Structures are given as C-alpha cells and as structure tokens.
Amino acid sequence: MKKSHGKEESFPEIKLRWLILAELVTWIGASFIWPLTSVYLNKQLHISLSMIGVVLFFNCSGNILGSIIAGRLYDRFNPYPLAVAGLGLDGAVLFLMAMFHGWPEYWIWLTILGFIGGWNGTLINSIATSIKRYPGRYVFNVIYFSQNLGVVTGTLIVGYLYDYSITLLFVIAGLLFVIACVNAIFNYRPIIAFHKHRMQQAASGQKVKSEPMPKRNFIMTMVFFVTLGVTWLMYMNWESNLSVYMVSLGIPFHMYSLLWTLNAGLIVVMQGILARFPRIFKNLFHQLVFGVTMFALSFVTLVFAKDFPHFAMSMAILTLGESTAFPAIPAFVNELSPLTSKGKYQGSIMVASGIGRAVGPLFGGMIIDKAGYLPFFWVAAIVIFMMNLVMIPVYVKLHNKLIIYK
C-alpha cells in the first residue's frame, strides 16, 4: 500500500472520550425505542404487523437519507453546528413523542428519528476520522464498543420502564440526548479548527477541493459496501423472523430477548479485547474476513439449532462476526478516503447498512414463506461466505496499489 504524501499539520483534536460519551448515551436512548416499537404499535395501538413493517421501512429510509445528507455536508461545511443541531433535534423529537405517541404521529416521529439517527451516526463517524492521536482501527473499535455498551444498558432498562410508563421512557431518552448535545457544545469545538485546516488546504492548492477517491481505492470500497449491505440483509432476520422460528419450537419469547442481551454483552467483551490487544489481527482486512466468515458460520449452526443452548451458541458465533467485521469497515474506508471526502464515504457506510436493514426482513420472509427456515439459513450462509470469495481476490490484486490516507 502507498501512503498519501503531504506535511502533517498540528492542531487541537477532539478527545476520543467525548465521542465515546456521545455514542454511549445516544445508544442507550436509541435502545429505549427500537426494542419496543413493534410491541407497542401492535399491542397498545393495535397496528397490524404488515403496517409495522411499513413503519420500520420508513425509519430505515429516513436513516439512509440522513446519512447521505450529513456525509455531504460534513465535507463542505463546519461540522460543529451540524453535530450540535442533530443531537439537540433528536432530544426535541423524543420529548414530543413523550407528549404525543398515538397513531399516526408515532409513525411520523419514528421516520424523523430515523433521519436524525443517520445524520448523527454519520457525523460522529466522520468526526472520528479527524482523530490522529490513535490508529483508526483503535478509534472505531472503541466507538463500536461504546455503542454496544449503550445497547446492553438500554435493553436491560427498557423492559422495566415500558411496564411503568412509556411517557417516562421517552422523557429519559430525550434527556440522554440533551446530555449528548451539551457534551457536543462544550467538547466538539476542536473540529472547527480541523474544518478550517481543510478549507485552507483547498484554498492553497495543497489539496484539490472534493478530491476524488483513487480508482483502485474506490473499487475496494465498493466491495466493502456490498459486503456490508449483504451481511445486514441476512443479519436483520435475527432481529425479525428468527423470533417466530424460536417460538414455533416451543422456546419462550423472553428467551429470544435474552439472546440480545447476550449479544450486546459479548460485543462489549470482544471490543474490550480488541481495544486492549489491537494486533490480534495482522491488519484490518484479516479482521474483516474473519468477521464475515463468522457471520456465515452462525447461519450454518442455525440449521441444527433446536433448543436455547444451541441458539445461544449460534448467537455467540454471530457476535464474533459482528464485533470484528462491522468496526473494521469504517476504519478501512477511512484509510481509503481522501481528506475532502471522508464524510461522504462514512455516510455511504450508513447507506449500505441501511439498505440491508430495510430490505432484510422482507427478503428473508419471502424465502421462508416459499421454502422454510432451514433453506433460508443455508442461503444466508452461502451468500455471506461468497462475499469473502469476492473480497479476497480483489484485495490480493489491489492492496499493493491502494493509497492509504492517514
């Protein structure tokens, strides 16, 4: 690989701990919303499951749109007010949900939250690319760790809050985003200096404005995006159709919910290990290939799972894949992206995963309706593993010609 040339400038950086705090509190807040949406809409508001699927599709579509817009704006404008506004608006919408959570306003709020979620996620990932004090692999592993620590905390609390008061749940979620917004107001200011530095480089000719990604980098990045989209396409069936399958085998629904606490807990442990020992994998590509392989293997084991311990084993294997592959992609894309287009490509990561999340339950449901669960598990395993058969030859051919931007 070739390193991009150019003199490194020294200017204040955002401290990584402030991004970690933002991810932690916002993911706790978000984890109050997504686990209860289907249950609340169906059991409390008596909305059909098909209509709930439409609502979730709008949420994912909003997420994609927010990711695209935020990524483009990050590359062109000062990210500081964009980040502050996104976090503040998210809190405001949650307070409105506390007051008005009937139908169809819940649908409207959830669509807006999807847009703002994509906006905030893209901006935080893009801002993370400005941190040079630590290797990119470490930065994105730690951010992914904080996300899932938030999921663990949120999913453990949400059941108790939901039984007590859904209004209180939305209020607490809104307060968490207020904390994230205040954190951004006081601690994200160094990104202003980074933005000025980018603009000065463009004005002085040191960097071409909106510098295009080199062709070989672009090809490798597109392969990563397809891999991410396909993985999420199959992964979403763990969050949707698998619950019906487990219940049909006589496993109580609360045991299915327990799988997600196990998932988040294992991710926290794995990210802690990767943060402490960042050289477990020789490089990011090896980490990604390992993760994709574990994703495929988790679906193979589902073919033989008939009781909770076997489903727990499958979830553990899935978690190995999730905790290694998902943080590796934004870290690698960061290295392949020129300074003036990092936001664009971090936003594209959110788009790729958003497309997979939006289409995944429908895709899996169609195969399951036509052929059954076991054929779907084999299809998912084979298709995910085939992404390795695409990635590895492309990487072997291109890796010595890739330009790495630090």
Same domain for 180 and 231, yes or no, is no
Number of domains in the chain: 2
Last residue of a domain, one of 209, 240, 256: 209
CATH number at residue 111: 1.20.1250.20
Residue-wise burial string across 87-126, b where 16 or more C-beta atoms lie within 10 A, e elsewhere: bbbbbbbbebbbeebeeeebbbbbbbbbbbbbbbbbbbbb
Residue 267 sits in which domain range? 211-406
**Tokens matching residue 329:** 């992609």
Same domain for 218 and 141, yes or no, is no
Residue-wise burial string across 365-375, b where 16 or more C-beta atoms lie within 10 A, e elsewhere: bebbeeeebee
Helices (H) and strands (E) counted in the chain, each on its own, are 15, 2
Same domain for 129 and 238, yes or no, is no
Same domain for 202 and 293, yes or no, is no
Can you give the pLDDT of all 406 residues of the chain as single tens digits?
665 544 445 667 888 999 999 999 998 888 888 667 766 777 778 877 567 767 878 888 898 899 889 988 988 888 999 999 999 999 999 999 999 988 999 999 999 999 999 899 889 988 988 888 888 778 887 887 788 788 778 877 776 777 778 888 899 999 999 999 999 999 999 888 888 877 776 666 554 456 788 899 999 999 999 999 999 999 988 876 787 788 788 887 667 767 877 887 888 788 778 777 777 888 889 999 999 999 999 999 999 999 999 999 999 999 999 889 988 898 899 889 887 788 788 888 878 888 888 788 778 878 887 888 899 999 999 999 999 999 999 999 998 889 888 7
Same domain for 218 and 204, yes or no, is no
Same domain for 375 and 273, yes or no, is yes
CA 377 vs. chain centroid, Å, equals 23
> Is residue 8 situated within a structural domain?
no
> Is residue 217 situated within a structural domain?
yes
**Nearest Cα residue to 351 out of 18, 27, 34, 70:** 70
- Outline where 4-48 has alpha helix (H): 16-33, 37-39
> Is residue 9 situated within a structural domain?
no
Cβ distance 4 to 342 under 8 Å? no
Rg (CA), the chain: 21
Last residue of a domain, one of 174, 209, 244: 209
3-state SS, residue 381: helix
Cβ distance 303 to 378 under 8 Å? yes
Same domain for 43 and 167, yes or no, is yes
Last residue of a domain, one of 170, 193, 209: 209
> The whole model's pTM is what?
0.73
Same domain for 330 and 181, yes or no, is no
Same domain for 173 and 257, yes or no, is no
Same domain for 154 and 278, yes or no, is no
Please state, in angstroms and rounded to a whole number, the distance separating the CA atoms of residues 74 and 87: 15
Residue 3, strand partner residues: 404
Q: Which residues contact 215 (CB under 8 A, 6 or more apart)?
A: none
Same domain for 254 and 382, yes or no, is yes
Same domain for 242 and 292, yes or no, is yes
